[in-house]
Amino acid sequence: MRERHEFHVDSARYLDDHGKPMDDLPALAGDTGRVLAAYRNMVLTRTFDAKVIALQRTGKCGTYPSVLGHEVIGTAIGQSMAKTDVFVPYYRDQAAHMLRGVGLREMLLYWGGDERGSANWKNCPEDLPISVPIATQCCHAVGVASAMRIRGEERAVVCCVGDGGTSKGDFLESINLAGAWHLPVVFVAINNHWAISTPRSLQTGAETIAQKAISAGLPGHMVDGNDYFAISEALDTALERARGGKGATLIEAVTYRLGDHTTADDATRYRTAEDLKRAWGKDGIKRLQNWLHDNDLWDAAKEKALQADSKATVEQAVEDYLAIEAEPPTAMVDYLFETLPPALQTQRERIVSKYRGGES
């Protein structure tokens, strides 16, 4: 006798590429304030992103990973999370940080290669600061989530990871633990089709990334990450489930990385203009803008005002950022230990002798 064990992965989207509903929308679409706030955050994120790239190109900012194409996912995360939840991000989560209380100036300080931005994390609930991990953050997320469970708190963790990150052992070990211990964590695997120059098709033999959840005993959902309603609904449901003690969820949010991997990359070397053009046709910001227009919630004048407002907000943040004097090169080692170990002490002396005025 044979028994059959069946598993499935569902996928969700509500709006077509032009913003026309393909199905009845979830109730959250009726929350006009929420939807408009989301649209504003997406536009601000995109404005900020373009400006940081320009700053990097003119030597005023360090290497920066563009968030182009991820604005809808980050915005939905920032909105769905409660203040008491903890965000464990990766390096392309600017849209969520903005809604979690991280200032644009603080992000500029971080990407500018100046860690003083970390002082301002006091404004954020208890989030882990921006970092540049591939999947190590998943281990941190289950650690934070198990602390919440031990303390019996009604809180949850949201952890972001890229499609490339889901090939790593620390991601797989973390979802396994989250499943075994029923931890209050929502993993958002952001499938932007690329891991630097490695395409999604070479990343894994699995048909979907969401199905990795099955091996860990978690629900796995695939959602269109350019569909604000689909991703928000999936997050709301998964977070409620986690906070209610029902365990973890893996959401695969599908989008496309519309920019280079970072400002140190040139994606034209490994992908075609046609692919990029096709991806722009699915842009989530334009899709939501069309929907807002169709529902008489938006017009050209409002768009013009929002663009001007976003630009002014970003310009002010840049002005504040540029007004802060850069740390001397010795700052690289000065805040690591109370007493510097000998090897770092030697490095510090070299910095001081090499750079006049290197002393802080």
Ligand X SMILES: Cc1ncc(C[n+]2csc(CCOP(=O)(O)OP(=O)(O)O)c2C)c(N)n1
Min separation Cβ 163 and Mg ion, Å: 4
The residues, any chain, with a CB within 8 Å of residue 18's CB and separated by 6 or more, are 287, 290
Amino acid 120 reads: N
Min separation Cβ 16 and Mg ion, Å: 24
Min separation Cβ 195 and Mg ion, Å: 5
Angle between the N-to-C axes of helices 104-111 and 32-57, in degrees from 0 to 180, rounded to the nearest 10: 30
Which DSSP string corresponds to 26-59? PGGGG-HHHHHHHHHHHHHHHHHHHHHHHHHHTT
Which listed option, ligand X, Mg ion, none, makes contact with residue 297 (CB within 5 to 8 Å by class)? none
Q: Which of 13, 261, 287, 348 is catalytic?
A: 261
Q: Which of 57, 270, 278, 335 is catalytic?
A: 270
The residues, any chain, with a CB within 8 Å of residue 298's CB and separated by 6 or more, are 39, 289, 292
The reply to whether 162 sits near Mg ion by the rule CB under 5 A is yes
Amino acid 84 reads: T
The pair of three-digit structure tokens given for residue 216, joined into one six-digit string: 């860990």
User: Residues touching ligand X: how many (CB under 6 A)?
Assistant: 12
The reply to whether 162 sits near ligand X by the rule CB under 6 A is yes
The pair of three-digit structure tokens given for residue 135, joined into one six-digit string: 């999947």
Please identify, using beta-carbon distances, which residue of 199 and 244 lies nearer to ligand X.
199
Which DSSP string corresponds to 69-80? T-HHHHHHHHHH
Q: Which of 49, 163, 224, 283 binds ligand X (CB under 6 A)?
A: 163
For the question of residue 4 being annotated catalytic, the response is no
Min separation Cβ 52 and Mg ion, Å: 19
For the question of residue 261 being annotated catalytic, the response is yes
Min separation Cβ 200 and ligand X, Å: 8
Q: Which of 78, 164, 225, 259 binds ligand X (CB under 6 A)?
A: 164
Query: What angle is formed at CA 132 by the lines to CA 135 and CA 252, rounded to 5 degrees?
Result: 45
Using the structure block, give the residue that is written with the tokens 């995109």: 46
The reply to whether 149 sits near ligand X by the rule CB under 6 A is no
CB 225 within 8 A of CB 191: yes
Min separation Cβ 169 and ligand X, Å: 10
Which listed option, Mg ion, ligand X, none, makes contact with residue 196 (CB within 5 to 8 Å by class)? ligand X
User: Residues touching Mg ion: how many (CB under 5 A)?
Assistant: 4
Task: Give which of 208, 246, 253, 249 is closest to 232, Cα–Cα.
Answer: 253
The reply to whether 257 sits near ligand X by the rule CB under 6 A is yes
Which listed option, Mg ion, ligand X, none, makes contact with residue 89 (CB within 5 to 8 Å by class)? none
Interface characters, 184-203, with ligand X (x: CB under 6 A)? --------x-xxx-------
Which DSSP string corresponds to 150-186? HHT-S--EEEEEETTGGGSHHHHHHHHHHHHTT-SEE
Taking residue 325's Cβ as centre, other Cβ atoms within 10 Å add up to 7
Q: How many CA atoms lie within 13 A of 263 on its CB side?
A: 18
Q: Which of 76, 108, 130, 134 binds ligand X (CB under 6 A)?
A: 134
Which listed option, Mg ion, ligand X, none, makes contact with residue 184 (CB within 5 to 8 Å by class)? none
The reply to whether 92 sits near ligand X by the rule CB under 6 A is yes
Min separation Cβ 161 and Mg ion, Å: 9
Angle between the N-to-C axes of helices 300-323 and 32-57, in degrees from 0 to 180, rounded to the nearest 10: 50
With CB atoms as reference, the residue minimizing the distance to ligand X is: 162
Please identify, using beta-carbon distances, which residue of 47 and 192 lies nearer to Mg ion.
192
Q: Which of 49, 85, 93, 163 binds Mg ion (CB under 5 A)?
A: 163
For the question of residue 257 being annotated catalytic, the response is yes
User: Helix or strand or coil: residue 194?
Assistant: strand
The reply to whether 195 sits near Mg ion by the rule CB under 5 A is yes
In the complex, the residues that contact Mg ion under the rule CB under 5 A are 162-163, 192, 195
The residues assigned a catalytic role are: 257, 261, 270
In the complex, the residues that contact ligand X under the rule CB under 6 A are 92, 134, 162-165, 192, 194-196, 257, 261
